[in-house]
């Protein structure tokens, strides 16, 4: 009988496949962001739902807007205030609004601070095309 039994090789291959599937997501680094599409319809936020909007203007100043109040804050305070807000309202939606003339690094740095503060799902505010 001169046949090769391939069943053990298939077992080894499946084990290696599982190992690569488990370790591949751990090797990527970055900030998880659900980016909205530019041509998507607007999202209606219920009036009774509180939304935390963190804005960065063209000068690099940060503003936190919870409800109607908006005040300038330093980047070091954004993380601390976000932690307190998320502790009081765990289901609050966190959105980032940045000026189009800002460098990419400023917005990524802000999103990193928000993620370290506990905001698991950070959204980006954009304008529809043509406005």
Residue 10 lies in a domain: no
CATH number at residue 112: 3.30.420.270
Q: What is the pLDDT of residues 42-65, one digit of tens each?
A: 656 666 677 888 888 877 888 887
In a domain, 5, yes or no: no
Residue stretches of the chain with pLDDT short of 50? 29-37
Residue 33 has what pLDDT? 34
Whether residue 2 is contained in a domain is answered as no
Helices and strands, counts by H and E, the chain: 3, 6
Q: How many domains does the chain have?
A: 1
pTM as predicted: 0.62
Residue 91 to residue 51: CA distance in whole angstroms? 9
- Alpha-carbon distance of 109 to 79, in angstroms, equals 11
């Amino acid at each position: 009988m001169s046949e090769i039994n391939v069943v053990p090789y298939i077992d080894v291959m499946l084990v290696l496949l599982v190992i690569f599937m488990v370790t591949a997501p751990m090797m990527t680094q970055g900030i998880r962001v659900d980016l909205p599409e530019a041509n998507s319809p607007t999202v209606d936020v219920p009036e009774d739902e509180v939304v935390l909007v963190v804005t960065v203007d063209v000068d690099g100043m940060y503003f936190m807007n919870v409800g109607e109040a908006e005040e300038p804050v330093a980047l070091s305070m954004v993380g601390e205030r976000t932690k307190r807000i998320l502790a009081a309202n765990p289901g609050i939606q966190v959105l980032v609004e940045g000026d189009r003339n800002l460098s990419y690094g400023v917005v990524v740095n802000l999103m990193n601070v928000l993620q370290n503060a506990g905001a698991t799902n950070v959204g980006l505010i954009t304008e529809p095309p043509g406005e």
